[in-house]
A and B are shown apart, each in its own frame.
Chain A
Amino acid sequence: MSATCFHCNEPLGTSKLTAIVGDRDEPVCCAGCRAVAELIAGAGFSQYYAVRSQAPSRPEAALLQADTWSAFENPAVAATITQRTGDTDAVTLGIDGLRCAACAWLIDKVVGALDGVQEVSTNLATGRVHVRWRNSRLSLAEVMRAIARAGYRPFPPGDLSIAEHQQSERRSSLRHLAVAAFGMMQVMMFAVASYSAELNGEIIDPELLSFFSLVSMLVATPVMFYTGMPILSGAVRSVRLRTISMDVPVASALVLAYGASVYSTLTGRLGDLYFDSVTMFIFFVTLGRFVQMSVRHRTTGITDALARQMPSVAHRIRDGVAESIPAASLALGDIVLVKRGEIVPADGALIDDEASVDESLLTGESLAVRRMRGAVITGGSLNVGHPFSMRLTAAPSQSVVAHIVALLERAQGQRPVISAAADRASRRFLIAVIVSAVATAAGWMIVDSSQAFGATLAVLVVACPCAFAIAMPAATSAGIAALARKGVLVSNPAALEALAAVDRAVVDKTGTLTHGRLRIARTHVAPGVDRIWCQTMAAALESSSEHPIAKAFRLESSDLPATNNVRVHAGLGIEGIVHGTQYRLGTRKFISLPIDVLPDPQPASTVVLLADEHRILAQFELQDELRSTAPACVNSLGNHGIATAILSGDRLSAVEAVGDSCGISERHAACSPEEKLERLRALQSQGHRVLAVGDGVNDAPLLGAADVSVAMGRGTALAHSSADMILMNEDLRALPAAIDFTRRVRRIVRQNLFWAAAYNFGSLPLAAFGLVPPWVAALGMSLSSILVIANATRLLPKRSAAERSRFSSSRGSSLPAQAYGS
């Protein structure tokens, strides 16, 4: 327990920082986590830690700086995203980092505590918060600041219409589902009464029986034509397109069963009543679709992902004055100022002498790069050096990131179509049903033409592929739920089937096989110099820098000595005065003192030297640390018969080092997004089913085109929205486990399809010979559906006793009693 951070659950490293939570000191990994933990505890919301189910991501430093959000103090900027009615303003913001219900609760509390807030509601499902406040007492910037201080990044959502569309879709399916549920219960009530009478050999008053059937028809009609509409219209659509989807046999069985039942009700020729089967079946199918829709909604659209990636505000310089404007309104040729720690809003040419930017999310390059005057800086990179200004060479909508998104959209469109097993099965099934119906009709015509209609109808109704249609969705839904418990979030249900069939894997390096940030791997000190002292000096010098190298030092120490005259030499290093002595920290070239006592650094590591005016004091070797689970994952994939290759945008030496330690022999370095896509396509054209794993913007097209794709939980939003699955806990070992599991799902699906087929084809001959009374047909239909669902529930994890008592114990032990008082 003590080895991880109290707030973000990441390893502590050598951090000695603590946060004061209640009356205890809890260990935290960085100043950001300390600030957030103390804010949460100080405001009296520390129950959050007792009830949360997922740890939040480590807060970025820029989140906590008050001036990050000051652009939104400008009323003109604020007005682009708020709606004003009288003296109240309302806004809907997207929230980055919203992971569990406790996060949503925390945001509600933190924002609700602000003076002037009238209403705040955080929706976990859509990842958005809606806030309404009195504009005389509060500004948008203060609302955003409050959310940021709790450790979450607010952003103006890219496209509100997507969220609105999802909400109306959800509401409409709920209505459909409710009608089917109510209808099913009512009809079943009458059906059970008549079935049990028939079983016991009793006879119900015929008048009452016809009344029952009339009422059943009344109730079943809205279920059929309201809830069943999507199925019916889906079938009509696929017939028009001359394809056969699952909807076709389902809809034809529904229409026949319903039509036959209405016919017998109206003509008084009682007997063939299937209202109970019709309503129950529509309910189950709609329920399955509702579950899959909820899964789909959990991942936001690509437009929204772009909004998360890119800054919402830019500083435009006009006539020498900087003004904050919405980034979307930037145009070609504008001059833009990018402050330290900010994301470059669009592509542009550097006007200042030099700049250093971190492009790791765009290219996979793990080190910051240096750009000289006139060089093009790509939108989406992070400024880790001095503030710089640039002239835009492309509007935000034409920038490289937008281009990658376009590439992704095309890639997704050209994805290899794996026709779902159920669709293939339904095609064969439909043909078999039609053939046997025709044979039955023809046979009875010869033998006894008066029986022909009844027997043919019985065949068609008995053949209703209820169990067939439910077989896939039931197993898939159960599989998705079980995978979510293992930390794998599935956004595309079809991916389960595809993952089971994968035989190749391509993985990104930076951020996927590695943690994606530099850490100090080795420290060598000159004789007579204290190691801890050297690290403290280095941390002090780097304390004000946003450079990826500086971040590696920052975690190491807490009480830092004061530094004076700190000067950053871009691309070289940093110098400053500590305790009256001049120190320098940087590359070999920057230090330019003889290195004799220190060992040669390992290849692929970045070397940083610390020196005073006379000699070198220490040599730090920084490496993007490999995830400890990576070699086990690659090995385990190999045991599943899946060969792994690295596709990275980083330098060859770094890729080689990671490949060696993971045991991956196929490596491709310095790949652009297009090259990654080409290599993937080459594998696919050889007939391989390829799994892609990545985290960056540059991986998005790759993820979009792969047969199955997995994004890392802390990867970019664009990677999330293009992937089929998200590895929430970033434990790579979950990947082979998920493959094992999807193979189990595939087995269950096959069993289900087999049972459904066995029932349907077993009962067909009986129906053809007129041996199946309607109540047996209805019961058989229900039982076969229930059998299929019960089989699918075997996929759900067994709830352990510990989990069942989790809620009561967390109430008992961790929560302060006062939470229930007052």
Chain B
Amino acid sequence: MSILFTLIPLSLLLVVFAGWAFFWAVDRGQFDDLDSPAWEILSDNATDKEPEE
């Protein structure tokens, strides 16, 4: 069972990383509008630009 003493701190590190990733995504505006991006798939427009921010 002593492996748990290593694995649990490791899992905590993963949680911290996941939390950081989520914060990062929130700050980048990924969650500002959850309704319209779903319709993007309907676009067959090849001229779509990459978001530049």
Binding site for B on A (CB under 8 A): 47, 51, 101-102, 104-105, 108-109, 112, 118-119, 121-126, 167, 170-171, 174-175, 178-179, 182, 186, 205, 208, 211, 215, 218-219, 815, 818-822
Q: A101-B38, A122-B36, A125-B35 are in contact. Are A186 and B12 (CB under 8 A)?
A: yes
Contacts of A122 in B (CB 8 A): 36
Q: Which residues of A contact B38 (CB under 8 A)?
A: 101
Is there contact, CB below 8 Å, between A174 and B33?
A: no
Interface residues of B in 14-53 (CB under 8 A from A): 15, 18-19, 22-23, 26-27, 31-36, 38-40, 42-49, 51-53
**Are B26 and A821 touching (Cβ within 8 A)?**
no
Known: A51-B42, A219-B12. A124 touches B35 (CB 8 A): yes
Closest to B50 in A: A119
Q: Are B26 and A174 interface neighbours, CB within 8 A? A: yes
Our pick among B33, B43, B44, B51 for the contact of A124 (Cβ within 8 Å) is B33
Task: Tell me whether B49 and A171 are in contact (CB under 8 A).
Answer: no
In the bound complex, do residue B12 and residue A119 qualify as a contact, i.e. CB atoms below 8 Å apart? no
Nearest-neighbour CB distance to chain A for B45, whole angstroms, equals 7
Contacts of A211 in B (CB 8 A): 4-5, 8
Residues of B within 8 A of A174 (CB): 26, 31
Asked if B39 and A119 make an inter-chain contact with CB atoms under 8 angstroms apart, the answer reads: no
Q: State A821–B42 Cα separation when bound (angstroms).
A: 11
In the bound complex, CA of A126 to CA of B29 (Å): 13
Residue contact B39 to A51, C-beta cutoff 8 Å: yes
Report the separation of the CA atoms of residues A820 and B38 in the bound assembly, to the nearest whole angstrom. 15
Residue in A closest to B36 when the chains form the complex, CB atoms: A104
A125 touches B33 (CB 8 A): yes
Point out the residues of chain A lying under 8 angstroms from B43, CB to CB.
Answer: 105, 109
Which residue of B has the minimal Cβ distance to A193? B4
Contact pick for B49, options A118, A167, A821, CB 8 Å: A118
CB distance from B23 to the nearest CB of A (A): 6
- Contact between B23 and A175 (Cβ–Cβ < 8 Å)? yes
- 8 closest cross-chain pairs (CB), A and B: A105-B39, A104-B36, A101-B35, A178-B22, A123-B33, A124-B35, A101-B36, A174-B26
Name the one of A179, A815, A822 contacting B46, with C-beta atoms under 8 angstroms: A822
Residues of A within 8 A of B9 (CB): 215
Chain A's closest residue to B38 (CB) is: A101
Which B residues touch A124, using CB under 8 A? 33, 35-36
Chosen A-B contacts, 11 in total, with CB atoms closer than 8 Å, are A51-B39, A101-B39, A102-B39, A123-B32, A124-B35, A174-B26, A175-B26, A186-B15, A205-B1, A215-B9, A218-B12
Q: Which of B12, B26, B31 contacts A215 (CB 8 A)?
A: B12
Please give the distance in Å from B29's CB to the nearest CB on chain A: 8
Closest partner residue, chain B, to A807 (CB atom):
B38
Query: Pick the contact of B52 from A105, A118, A219, A815 — CB < 8 Å?
Result: A118
Flag if A105 contacts B36 (CB, 8 Å): yes
A167–B52 Cα gap in the complex (Å)? Answer: 20
Which chain B positions have C-beta within 8 A of A219?
12, 15
| Chain B residue, CB-CB nearest to A183 | B15
Write the nearest CB–CB distance from A179 to chain B, whole angstroms: 6
A642 to chain B, nearest CB (A): 35
User: Which residue from chain B places its CB closest to the CB of A106 in the assembled complex?
Assistant: B39
Bound CA span A125–B1, Å: 50
A109 B1 Cβ-Cβ under 8 A: no
- Which of B19, B22, B33, B42 makes the CB contact (< 8 A) with A819? B42
Closest to A212 in B: B8
Partner of A125, one of B27, B32, B44, B49: B32
Q: Is the CB of A170 within 8 A of B32?
A: yes
Given contacts A105-B42, A119-B52, contact A182 B15 (CB under 8 A): yes
Q: Cβ of B23: which chain A residues have Cβ within 8 Å of it?
A: 175, 178
**Which residues of A lie under 8 Å from residue B22 when comparing CB positions?**
175, 178
A51 CB contacts on chain B under 8 angstroms: 39, 42
Q: Taking A122-B36, A124-B35, A171-B27 as contacts, is the C-beta distance between A208 and B4 under 8 angstroms?
A: yes
Given A171-B31, A208-B1, verify A123-B36 contact (CB < 8 Å).
yes
Chain A neighbourhood of B33, CB < 8 A: 104, 121, 123-126
Nearest to B34 among chain A residues (CB) is A125
Given A119-B49, A208-B4, verify A178-B19 contact (CB < 8 Å): yes
Chain B residues, CB < 8 A from A815: 42
Taken together as a complex, chains A and B put the C-alpha atoms of A542 and B47 apart, in Å, by 44
Find out whether the CB atom of A171 lies under 8 angstroms from the CB atom of B26: yes
Tell me whether A818 and B18 are in contact (CB under 8 A): no
Chain A residues closer than 8 Å to B51, beta-carbon distance: 119, 121
Given A124-B35, A167-B32, A175-B26, 5 extra CB contacts under 8 A: A125-B34, A208-B4, A211-B5, A215-B8, A815-B42
Residues of chain B contacted by A821 (CB below 8 angstroms): 44
Q: Which residues of A contact B31 (CB under 8 A)?
A: 170-171, 174
* Known contacts A125-B32, A171-B27, A208-B4, A818 near B39 by CB under 8 Å: no
Closest B residue by C-beta to A215: B8
Please report the C-alpha to C-alpha distance between residue A170 and residue B26 in the assembled complex, in whole angstroms.
Answer: 9
CB distance from B16 to the nearest CB of A (A): 9
Q: Which residues of B contact A104 (CB under 8 A)?
A: 33, 35-36, 39
Q: How many angstroms from the CA of A215 to the CA of B8 in the assembled complex?
A: 8
User: What is the minimal beta-carbon distance from A80 to any residue of chain B, in angstroms?
Assistant: 24
The answer to whether A182 and B12 touch (CB under 8 A), given A104-B39, A118-B52, A819-B44, is: no
CA distance A178 to B33 in the complex (A): 17
Residues of chain B with a CB closer than 8 A to A218's CB: 12
With A and B bound together, what is the CA distance between A175 and B43 in angstroms? 31
Alpha-carbon distance A105/B23, docked complex (angstroms): 27
A160 to B32, CA, bound (A): 16
Task: Report A794 CB to chain B, min CB distance, Å.
Answer: 25
Q: Closest chain A residue to B28 by CB distance?
A: A171
A186 to B, closest residue via Cβ: B15
Contacts of A170 in B (CB 8 A): 31-32
Instruction: Give the nearest-CB partner of B33 in chain A.
Output: A123
Whole-angstrom distance between the Cβ of B31 and the nearest chain A Cβ: 5
In the bound complex, CA of A112 to CA of B42 (Å):
15
B45 touches A109 (CB 8 A): yes
Residue of A nearest to B39 (CB): A105
Give the distance to chain B from A334, nearest Cβ to Cβ, in Å: 40
Q: How far is the CA of A182 from the CA of B32 in the complex (A)?
A: 20
Residues in A with CB closer than 8 Å to B36 are 101, 104-105, 108, 122-124
A-chain residues with CB within 8 Å of residue B18 when the two chains form the complex: 182
- B19 contacts A182, C-beta separation under 8 Å: yes
Task: Give the Cβ gap from B7 to chain A, nearest Cβ, in Å.
Answer: 11
**Residue of A at shortest CB range from B27?**
A171
Which residues of the other chain, A, contact B27 by a CB distance below 8 angstroms? Answer: 171
Residue on B with the closest CB to A294? B34
Chain B residues closer than 8 Å to A125, beta-carbon distance: 32-35
A123–B34 Cα distance when bound, in Å, is 9
Q: Which residues of B contact A119 (CB under 8 A)?
A: 49, 51-53
Contacts of B52 in A (CB 8 A): 118-119
